[in-house]
Structure 1
Amino acid sequence: MKLFPHQERVLNATYEYNRVAYYLDMGLGKTFVGSEKMWELNTPYNLVICQKSKIDDWKNHFLEHYDYQVIVFDKQKIENIPPESVLIVNYDKVWRRPELHKLRNFTMMLDESSMIKNESSNRSKFILKLGADNVILLSGTPTGGKYEELWSQLHLLGWGISKKLFMKQFVIQEWDERNQRFKIIGYKNVDRLKAKLAKYGAVFMKTEEVFDLPIVNESIVKIPGTKEYKQFARDHIIKIDGQELIGDTAAAKKLYLQQLAGVYNENKLQYLKDLIDSTNDRLIIFYNFKKEYEALTNMIDRPISTVNGDFKDLTAYEECNDSVTLIQYQAGAMGLNLQKANKIVYFSLTDKSELFEQSKKRIHRIGQDRPCFYYYLLTAGSIEWRMLEVLKERKDYTDALFEKEEM
């Protein structure tokens, strides 16, 4: 397998390490670097933990480039795992497979290792207790700009610092009188933290350090608002399309404001239809909710591909130049190679900075030779404007932040 020079540099720099983190920007080929490191480590058994949507990609990658026996650990129990094999399991199921605790003499690779940033979750606690001889972490956004979320990954790399000491040394906190708890307001000793990460086998690499990718063009489209949005923002209750929306909590109010700015806004749906009709190019559309997916599929009269929690089919994207690909953030913002397209439309926005940043890299990556265009459809006077502002600061738009802004 022929690697790019930057991939060979990364492997050479970590040759002596058996626990590594390849924090390579989206599009720099973490899959190839990680699998080559696994092959170099040459353990009898290998375990790859990834998102559900990436299982087939990893399976096909190993079958195409290596001689491993590839086993997808889904519903069945596996009694005898043959040597020279790769076992693939997704994050949602791994902690339900207690037999993995018996596995020995193996290399563990975590694709999108930021999935274990919450060390108290079932998946993280399970993974942290596995007895891997070697560890390979892969992520383009390991922290989403939040260094406190690195601790569980550092633990796997062999840095035995406690969470309490880590927070004391690298995180700045202050007391929040209103919520009666400490809140994070910044970071300190960042250069020391980065030096420690390098010492424990972590490599960071940005796309701009390696390739001159095409220019990026962003357009914010102001969509007319609706009286229904204004009514709900004022009264926190409305009946629309036979459904009563009640914003009795901050989370519920935020959710329904997003939907009223999106799928319940006929102006936005009409603009999107006009935008689709204005080009014969492939389009990628990111959305959040099932109700949005239903409205979009009913409206679009072109070949459609889908990536969401229930279904994944990229046939139209691969085969049709005029296809429209509908992607739900959680299912498809990470990992997909969609550089046949060069236009992304954001019908609605995600709360999560990491998913937002990753979504943009689906088209702006190695192999793209055209300028990339991003269209943000924002309803006038709506929550969407503040959401985009926060996301561009590489922060999550949380319920707590929304509640604070509403006061």
Structure 2
Amino acid sequence: MIKLLPHQQSVLEQTKAFHRVAYYLDMGLGKSFVGSEKMHQLKTPFTLVICQKSKIDDWAAHFREHYDYNVYSFNKQFISEIPEHSVLVINYDLAWRRSELLKLSNYTLILDESSCIKNETRRRSKFILKLKADNAILLSGTPTGGKYEELWSQCQLLGWAISKRLYWQQFVKTKILEVGGCPIKVVTGYKNVDRLKAKLRDYGAVFMKTEEVLDLPKTMDQIVNIAITKEYRRFKKDRVIDINGKTLVGDTPLTQLLYLRQLAGMYNENKIERLTDLIQSTGDRLIVFYNFDLEYGVIRNLCEKTGKQVSVVNGKLKDLKAYEEHSDSVTLVQYQAGAMGLNLQLANKIIYFSLPLSSELWMQSKKRIHRIGQTQTCFYYYLLTKGTIEPKILETLQQRKDFTDRLFKEVDHD
């Protein structure tokens, strides 16, 4: 059985009377341990765990190590009859394709990183809200990423049957903007936040920050300034450029933003050179976060040229062998696949080759090394190309806002 820390025992005690709970514990506080213990206490015949694809093996290993349940990982196969005393683990993108799950009853549902259902209009969210679980356990370190309008679907799973319209009226400030001649409702802020959190606590939610219970090592941010390129300036002016045999055309705000980010990143030889210097300057484990598949190819190539052992976590591959076995390895992590859930505290240095547009992914990524078990100061190196959109992205993320919110404005404000 799991030996819980005092703050984890306190969380379980606070929610003892609830069968639908949300553990909004900061990254690194062990919410998976709290969630699985709560599940064990509820004692339903079986449990359905829905998580990100990269976390399926981790959850399966967790239950096999600490409990005596039968554990089934659903990838392509589905078992027609579920034995009692079982745990079923499936990823979000596969779950909604399994209509068989809608027929299940008398079980406990665990949603790991429950913020994955924040958009209630997506098929995965609609499907999960239809499930007939007797109990629900929601786990997230960043349930909203600072956006309280995205909590509504989780409220439904907790049993708070407030309508979406009333929820927005009570807690969300909005205004109407004309964009391209079309009226669009834009969130401008929030109201009655303390009442919202109090109401959530009434429905079994617990909010806990790391600094409330743990004295983790210090963190230090290091800005590494990179020189801008003439190609970036030319594209910003003309919205089109030929580079490395490709033609980049910024004919919409989205494509313009995409190519500005890439021209400041993987197409910037100055940044590639600086990253190479950083990797060669230390014999410590390094974590490098990136966004695009093309970036991965560039970074992987330079790591191999430096002779470093490389681990990878992205949408196609999860291989942490080099990270686990070599103290001077480099681990390349794509935000969407590895910003949430990974335990990488053997390292204490993260290099941000490029930044995400999501504040939630950025905040989650920082906690991959700054968590229970870390004993060293954590260093975060931001490779920012001066005079480009990159410093503006970091500034926005530090305000706990998504940079995509700026698409309602001109992109060339940088």
TM-score range, shorter chain: over 0.9
2:91 pairs with 1:90: yes
TM-superposition CA deviations, 1:250-303 (whole Å, max 9, x none): 111110111100000000000010111110000000000111111111111200
Paired position in structure 2 for 1:250: 253
- Unaligned 5+ segments in structure 1 are none
Q: C-alpha deviations, 1:321-365, integer Å up to 9, x for none?
A: 000000000000000011110000000000010000000000000
- Alignment of 1:388 with 2:402, yes or no, is no
Segments of structure 2 that go 5 or more residues without pairing to the other structure are none
Contact 1:251 1:399 in 2 (8 A): no
Residue 204 of structure 2 aligns with which residue? 201
Kindly provide the CA deviation profile for residues 83-134 of structure 1, in whole angstroms up to 9, marking residues without a partner as x. 0000111000000000011111100000000000011100000000000000
Q: 2: CA distance between counterparts of 1:175 and 1:402?
A: 12
| Shift in Å, 1:17 | 0.2
Distance in 1 between residues matched to 2:80 and 2:295, nearest whole Å: 43
The separation in 2 between residues aligned to 1:28 and 1:74, in whole angstroms, is 29
Q: CA deviation at 1:403?
A: 4.3
CA shift, 1:76, in A, is: 1.2
Q: CA deviation at 1:73?
A: 1.6
What residue in structure 1 maps to residue 166 of structure 2? 165
2:263 aligned with 1:260: yes
CA contact (8 A) 1:250 1:402 kept: no
Kindly indicate whether the alpha-carbon contact (under 8 Å) linking 2:236 and 2:412 is maintained by their aligned counterparts in 1.
no
- For 1:270, what is the secondary structure of its paired residue? helix
Q: Which amino acid is the alignment partner of residue 228 of structure 2?
A: G
Aligned residues: 407
Written as runs of structure 1 = structure 2, the 5 A alignment for 1:195-234 is 195-234=198-237
* Deviation for aligned residue 1:191: 1.1
Q: Does residue 305 of structure 2 align to residue 305 of structure 1?
A: no
**Counterpart amino acid of 2:333?**
I
Q: After superposition, what is the alpha-carbon deviation per residue over 1:166-211, rounded to whole angstroms, capped at 9, x for unaligned?
A: 0000111122134512211111111111110100000000000011
Deviation at 1:60, TM superposition (A): 0.2
In the aligned structure 2, how far is the partner of 1:287 from the partner of 1:269?
13
2:199 maps to 1:175: no
Whether 1:62 aligns to 2:63 is yes
- How far residue 30 of structure 1 moved from its aligned partner, in angstroms, is 0.7
Tell me which of 281, 287, 312 is aligned to 1:278: 281
Matched, 1:75 2:76: yes
Flag as ranges the 4+ runs of structure 1 deviating above 6 A. Answer: none
Offset, 1:400: 4.7
Matched with 1:343 is 349
Tell me the distance in 2 between the aligned counterparts of 1:260 and 1:399.
21
- Which residue identity does 1:249 align to in structure 2? T
RMSD (Å), alpha carbons: 1.0
- 1:378 is paired with a residue whose SS is strand
Distance 1:238 1:159 in 2: 52
> For residue 224 of structure 2, what is the amino acid of its counterpart?
V
TM-score by length of 1: 0.99
Contact 2:311 2:322 in 1 (8 A): yes
CA-CA distance at 1:78 after TM superposition: 1.4
Report the counterpart of residue 334 of structure 1 in structure 2. 340
CA shift digits 1:49-103 (9 cap, x unpaired): 0000000000000000111100112111311110000011100000000001111
Q: CA deviation at 1:405?
A: 4.3
Matched-pair contact (CA < 8 Å) for 2:20–2:204: yes
Identity %: 65
| Paired letter, 1:168 | Q
- Given that 2:253 and 2:407 are in contact with CA atoms closer than 8 Å, whether structure 1 keeps it comes out as no
The structure 2 residue matched to 1:369, chosen from 338, 350, 375, is 375
Match of 1:116 in 2: 117
SS of the residue 1:292 aligns to: helix
- Measured in 2, the distance between the counterparts of 1:170 and 1:364 equals 32
Using the TM superposition, name which of 181-190 and 49-58 deviates more.
181-190
Does the 8 Å contact 2:287/2:332 carry over to 1?
yes
Q: Determine if contact 1:284/1:324 at 8 Å carries over to the other structure.
A: yes
Q: Distance in 1 between matches of 2:154 and 2:40?
A: 21
What SS does the aligned partner of 2:24 have? strand
- Between the aligned partners of 1:35 and 1:336, the Cα distance in structure 2 is 17
Structure 2 CA distance for aligned equivalents of residues 276 and 77 of structure 1 = 44
**In 1, Cα distance between equivalents of 2:14 and 2:196:** 19
Q: Which amino acid aligns with 2:83?
A: P
Q: Which moved more, 1:89-98 or 1:175-184?
A: 175-184
